[in-house]
Each structure stands twice: as C-alpha cells, then as structure tokens.
Amino acid sequence: MTAGAPSNLGPTGTGTATARLPQILPRTARRRRVPLGNFKRAIFMAAVLLLSVLFIYPFLWLISASLKPKTDVFDNRLIPNEFAWNYDDLLDIAPVATWFMNSVWIGVVGALLTTLSSALVAFAFAYFRFPGRNLLFGLVLATMMLPGAVTMIPSYLIWNELGLVNTQYPLWVPNLFGSAFYIFLLRQFFMAIPRDLFEAARIDGDNYLTMFWRIAMPLAKPALIVTFVFEIQAKWFDLMTPLIYLRDAALFTLPLGLKTVLDQFGTGGGGQADWQIIMAGTVVTVVPMIIIFAFFQRAFLEGIATQGRKG
Amino acid sequence: MRSRGWLSGFRKPETWFAYGFIFPWLFGFIALTAGPMVASFYFSLTNYSVEQIAGLEKTSYVGAKNYRQLLEDEKITLALENTFIYTVMMVPATIIVALTLAMILLRVGRAGDFFRTVFYLPQITPPVAVGILLLVLFNGQQGIVNRGLELIGIPGPFWTTDPEWIKPSLVIMSVWAVGGTMVIYLAALRGVPQQLYEAAAMDGAPAWRRFKDVTLPMISPSLFFTFIILTIAGLNTFTEVYTAYFGTGSAGAESPEAALMYAIYLFRQAFEFFNMGYASAMAWLLFVIVMTVTLVQIVVSRRFVFYQGSARE
C-alpha cells in the first residue's frame, strides 16, 4: 500500500500514470483572466493581506500563549515577555504521548482500511454489471444523507453487547466496511479508466482480484490519496465517538484527552485556569494536522473541490 | 420476463465476484446502518434506559410516549431554537465570506495560491481546538477579540457568558473555518468561461451586473451544494460547542442554556443520562427535520440553480 507516498504530489501533476485518463480532479492551471489595473490589484492585495492576518493570528496567538508563564497568557504579546516551557508540565499532568500515539494509530489503521474497503466496493460498482447494482448503489448514496445520530445508539448497544465498550475497536472496525462518500468518489475515478485496459489484462491472464490490484488501484492513486488523507483528518477531528466508547484515559485519542485537560484545568470545572497548559495541549493537537496538510495539500484541496462538483 | 433476466444474472460467475467485492459494504450496511435504523426506531417506542441496559428491569413498549414527551420537553424547544438560530446565521455568513474570499483570491494573481493555503488553515484545525480557541479569543475581559474592538472604540460584549452573544461568537468561529467552502467556490469560479465576461463587458454591463448575471448563475450548482451541506452541518453541530460549554465534570452543570444545541442534548440524553429510548426518538426527530429542510431546499432551489455543461462537469 503506497497511498502515503507524498512524492507524487509535486506541482507538475497527479503522476504520469494518470496522464492518459480524463481528469476528474481539476487541474490547478488557470486560464488567463481579464487583466486588472495595477491600482485595483494593489487594493485586492491589501485586502488579502489584511484578511490573512485575521485568519493566521489565532494560530500565532496560540503558539505564543503556549510558551508563556501562567500570568502572561492573556497579555496579548506575540513574543512572550518571559518564556515558559509548558509542554513539560503538560506531559507531567496527562498521558499526552499515549493519546498522541492512539490518535496516530487509529488514524492510520482507519484510513488504510477505509481506503482499501471503499476501493474494493467502488471498483465492483464501476466495473461489474450485475443484478441489483443500481439499487445497491442508490442505497450507498442514500446512506450519505443519513445523520449519524439515528444509528449511534443501536451501534453503541451492539458494541456493548459484544463487551467491546471501553476498547478502541469501535473507533476503527467500522472502517472495514467502506464509507459511502469514498465509494462514490472512487467509483467516479474507476469509471474513467478505459475498459480496454481491463480487457487486455484479462487476456494476459489476470483474474478480477489481480486486475483490481494491478490495474485499477495504481491508476486511482490520486483519488486513493484523497480518501486516505480525508479519513486521517476525520479521525483526528472526531470527539464524539471516543467520547461515547472510551472510559480509560490510557485509551483516549488526542481530542478527547484535550477535552479532559480543558475540563480539569480550565475555569469551568473549578480548575485553576491553567490556560498555559491547555494552550500547549491545543498546539500538540493542531500542529500535526498542519504538517500533514503541508505534505498532502494538493490532495486536500482537490478532494474538497471535487466534492463541490457533485452537484 | 424482466425478473427472469434479473435472476439469471446470478448464473454468471461475474455476479458472484461482484457481490464478493461489495460484501464489505453490504455487511456494514446491514449490520451498522439498516439494522441499527430498525433497532433505533424500535427503541424509540420503548422505555429503554439505564435499568434496562443493566438488566434490572424488562424493556417495555410504550407506544408514542417518547414522541409525546418531545413536544412537552422545554429543553427540546430550547435546543431546536438554538440550533436553528445558529444555522440561520452561520450558513449565509459562511457562503458570503467564502465567496468574497474566493473572488478576491482570483484577483491577486499567482499569490492567490499562497493565500488560499492561509485561508484554508482554520479548516484543518481540529474542532476541539476551535472550541478552546473560542473560549480564549472571545474571553470577555481579556480576549484578543475585545482588545481589538477596544482599539477601534467599540466596547466588546461578554461573548462567552452573555446568552445574547454566545451564538454570534460560535458563528464567527465557524466562519473562520470557511476554507473548504472557499475552495469549492474557487474551483467553480475558475470553471466560468472567460468569454462570458468578455461578452458582458463588451455589452457595457457594469461589474455588479456581470456578477449577478454571469457569475452567480454559473456557480449556482456549487452555491446550492454548499448551502445544503452547510445546513446539514449546522443542524448537527456538536464538537466545538460541546468542547467550549459542556463537560462531564462540574463544568457541565454550569453550561449556558444558550449553547444547548440539539445534537448535544441528544448526546447527553443518550450517553450521560442513558435514556436510550427517549434519545432514539430525538434522533428520529432530527432525521425528519434534516430531511424536510433538505427537501425544501432542493425544491426551492430548483428554479435558481442553473446547470450548464461546463459548470456541471
């Protein structure tokens, strides 16, 4: 499984293997627009710079606050007057390293499984003609509309019945069964692969499984990467599922851990308002996503843009 | 005749392979979606709660009692009101800000790529972190937002404690994470054929006419899509608000009523009070509301959405 290789995400394209295929993901190359006057351009540039400050400032504030002693957190200086390494305190009061590793492994396992299972299902819907196909694919689309709340309680009761509440299984096992949105996305991609390629592979002695693995999967790499990073993000963001299923602090994921740190050390729960520690925890939760985004930027942005063109 | 053709498909090995390939989804659909849906509806008609889970008492059928209780529960009314107010503010605000940003980005040349990343960053910020940032940035006494407002001579409200200002601050934080919607609009705007603007300009159409009569119709499928997605997200809003205002400890006891969103109340009924039957009824009410709102949007939008070859793909 090479879905994690960032090397194919260079600025030149989505990899040579897909160059022949009709583009599903939009190219970033732009057409020329009506040229703007220098004055107008300067005004737009100023607006963009001003707005960027609004969007970036909270991050700078956060990182700066995480490096200040308790009394200075709200002094609103960007460069701390006096530095304090609150990260050591954070590690002392909470098993943050464990939470971090839990989040990483649940994210990676969940994303790998969902990419693989969704691709398998999507390939079947794209390639095979079989009775019930349209009906079943309609059901796939219908489940995209279903709010999670409706299935949340019985799912919990099933896991409870299996004795697996307060384990991490409920957080990633559902990824074995594919996910409607990814199935939809990947099916689009598989359908764009010329059928001749598959017929040729069949003549060369491939069976359906090797054909899927050797022909379809490599060609769908850009879409597989989108699926992978979207699911990583979904897992990294999720608070509700861990909140429902996890009780032992040692099993927590980062969002749930951060929430308990907030409850314990914030002002609401009679805490000491140790915001400097909470800020350090927030940085630990925020920064890994920014790093992942830096590597997979193209996949994130194209995945989102593709979503918008389903309409 | 048709049904015979349908069944005879199962004689082909290809069909069996196909069903083998989709088996993961089919199993998940039955075990984790369809089955639970039926079960959820059943539970919504029972008194299933703590005693029944522990096996101390038998589960009994209570008919529509849970649904009647929905009508009487003042917190349901409150939670629905909060959720609607939040959604009604958040959706248009997000759409307007996202479209504005996208249109500005298209006008700054190559620098647009860099600033697109900048504007996208809040979108990859975990919702729990957004909830925490809300508490510190909008803090009434010391928060940076009020310091900023002071600078331009506006006394800032107590965002996080004044019931009147809790939802506006939540909306502002959501709008901060506008990046995804913006990227969708960027792609749509790039798809508008340049000749249309040139033709409009040649006809002497002023900028706002070009925007209203060319841009808006051409990107209406994207506007429509985000309108629906944002509305559904708004009605289901949970994590940011739960992080900022609700907790399992004593923090939960002081939670402001103005922040009680429907999904939060549902979560508390199910997993803090373990009123599973009642919570299931709440889930179905949410389902019906989301479906109805979406259908109304589809019907109403039909006349405004303009599908054209290149805009649709």
Tens digits of residue pLDDT in A13-27: 333 333 333 344 444
DSSP state, residue B30: I
Nearest-angstrom CA–CA distance, B38 and A281: 41
The answer to whether the pTM exceeds 0.80 is yes
Examine the pLDDT at B62 and tell me if it is beyond 90. no
Give A287→chain B minimum CA distance, Å: 8
> B-contacting residues of A 72-131, CB under 8 Å?
73-74, 76, 117-118, 120-121, 123-125, 128-131
Comparing CA positions, the residue from A70, A51, A102, A87 lying closest to residue B122 is A51
Judge whether B106 and B194 are in contact, CB under 8 Å. no
**Contact between A66 and A80 (Cβ < 8 Å):** no
A145-161 per-position pLDDT tens digit: 788 889 999 999 999 99
A150 touches chain B (CB under 8 A): yes
Q: Which of A91, A56, A239 is CA-nearest to residue B120?
A: A56
**Which residues does chain A have within 8 Å of residue B184's beta carbon, measured at their own beta carbons?**
304-305, 307-308
Nearest chain A Cα distance for residue B229, angstroms = 10
Residues of chain A contacting residue B144, judged by C-beta atoms under 8 Å apart: 57, 61, 76
Q: Name residues whose C-beta falls within 8 Å of residue B121's C-beta, 6 or more positions apart in sequence.
A: A55, A56, A59, A290, A293, B179
- Per the listing, tokens 């054209």 go with B308
Considering A258-272, A280-294, B146-160, B298-312, the range whose residues carry the highest mean pLDDT is A280-294
Residues 153-182 of A with CB under 8 A from B: 153-158, 160, 174, 176-178
Closest partner residue to A255 among B113, B126, B249, by Cβ?
Answer: B126
> Measured between beta carbons, which residues in chain A are less than 8 angstroms from residue B87?
none
Q: Cβ contacts of residue B279 below 8 Å, gap of 6+? A: A153, B266, B269, B270
Contact indicator for A223, A9 with CB cutoff of 8 Å? no
Closest to B33 (Cβ–Cβ): which among A45, A59, A143?
A: A143
Which pair of tokens denotes residue A4?
């994690």
Tens digits of residue pLDDT in B247-269: 765 444 567 889 999 999 999 99
Report chain B residues whose CB lies below 8 A from the CB of A132: 6
Q: How confident is the model at residue A296 (pLDDT cuts 50, 70, 90)?
A: very high
The answer for residues whose C-beta is within 8 angstroms of residue A200's C-beta and 6 or more apart is none
Residue ranges per domain, chain B?
Answer: 2-43, 65-312
Residue A207 DSSP SS3? coil
pLDDT in tens, B93-141: 999 999 999 999 998 888 888 999 999 999 999 999 999 999 999 988 8
Identity of the residue in B14, B107, B194 whose CB atom sits nearest the CB atom of A44: B107
Is residue B75 within 8 A of residue B273, CB to CB? The reply is no
Q: Which fold has domain B65-312?
A: MetI-like fold (1.10.3720)
A45 has a chain B CB within 8 A of its CB: yes
Q: Is A278 on the interface with B (CB under 8 A)?
A: yes
Q: Is the pLDDT of residue A282 over 90?
A: yes
- Of A244, A233, A109, A230, residue with least CA distance to A180: A230
How much is the average pLDDT of B257-282? 93
Query: Is B187's CB within 8 Å of A309's CB?
Result: yes
Question: Comparing A75-79, B181-185, B196-200, B306-310, which segment has the lowest mean pLDDT?
Answer: B306-310
What percent of chain A is modeled with pLDDT above 70?
86
d(CA A124, CA A143): 18
Residue A245 Cα, gap to closest chain B Cα (Å): 10
What 8-state DSSP symbol labels residue A31?
Answer: P
Q: Give me the half-sphere count of Cα atoms (radius 13 Å) on the Cβ side of residue A57.
A: 15
Q: What is the pLDDT of residues B211-254, one digit of tens each?
A: 988 999 999 989 998 999 999 999 999 999 999 988 765 444 56
Residue A308: pLDDT band with limits 50, 70, 90:
low
Task: State the best of B16, B17, B19, B25 to mutate against chain A, taking most chain A CBs within 10 Å.
Answer: B25
Kindly give, in sequence order, each residue whose CB lies less than 8 Å from that of residue A201, ignoring residues fewer than 6 positions away.
A210, A211, A214, A215
Full set of structural domains in chain A with CATH = 87-308 (1.10.3720.10)
Suggest the residue from A165, A247, A304 to mutate for an interface test with chain B (most B CBs closer than 10 A): A304
Give the model's pLDDT for residue B22. 95
CA angle A190, A192, A195 (to 5 degrees): 85
Closest alpha carbon within chain B to A77: B144
B15: Cα within 13 Å, side-chain hemisphere: 12
DSSP B156: P
Token pair listed for A190 = 């598989």
DSSP symbols for B188-239: HHHTS-HHHHHHHHHTT--HHHHIIIIIHHHTHHHHHHHHHHHHHHHHT--H
Asked if residue B172 has pLDDT above 50, the reply is yes
Nearest chain B CA: its distance from A61 CA (Å): 9
Binary contact (B126, A178; C-beta < 8 A) = no
pLDDT attached to residue A144: 84
Chain B residues touching A51 at Cβ < 8 A: 101, 104, 119
Residue A59 corresponds to which tokens in the numbers above? 């991050």
- Long-range Cβ contact pairs of A71-76 (< 8 A, separation 24 or more): A73/A275, A73/A276, A73/A279, A73/B136, A74/A275, A74/B136, A74/B139, A74/B142, A74/B143, A76/B142, A76/B144, A76/B147
Task: Give the mean pLDDT of A80-109.
Answer: 93
Closest CA to A217 of A105, A107, A118: A118
Q: What angle do CA B182, A139, B230 make, to 5 degrees?
A: 20
| b/e burial code for range A6-29 (CB count within 10 A of at least 16 → b) | eebbeeebbbeebeebeebbbebe
Among all chains, which residue has been given the structure tokens 């040649």?
A: B202
Q: State what percent of residues in chain B have pLDDT above 90.
A: 58
Q: Where are the alpha helices (DSSP H) in chain A?
A: 38-65, 86-93, 96-127, 133-145, 148-161, 169-172, 180-191, 195-203, 208-211, 217-219, 221-237, 240-245, 254-265, 275-308
**Which of B108, B143, B201 has its CB closest to that of A45?**
B108
Q: What are phi and psi of B237, to 5 degrees?
A: -60, 135
Say if A280 is an interface residue toward chain B (CB within 8 Å).
no
pLDDT per position as a tens digit, B137-167: 998 888 889 888 988 888 889 888 888 999 9
Nearest to B118 by CA among A46, A279, A54: A54
Three-class secondary structure of residue A102 per DSSP? helix
Does the distance separating the beta carbons of B106 and A48 come in below 8 Å?
A: no
Subunit contact B128:A76, Cβ cutoff 8 A: no
Contact check, Cβ <8 Å, B243/A262: yes
Q: What is the mean pLDDT of residues A112-121?
A: 97
SS3 assignment, position A65: helix
- Contact call for B129 and A263, based on CB within 8 A: no
Q: Please say if the pLDDT value at position A30 is more than 90.
A: no
Residue from the list B105, B119, B239 with its beta carbon closest to the beta carbon of A239: B239
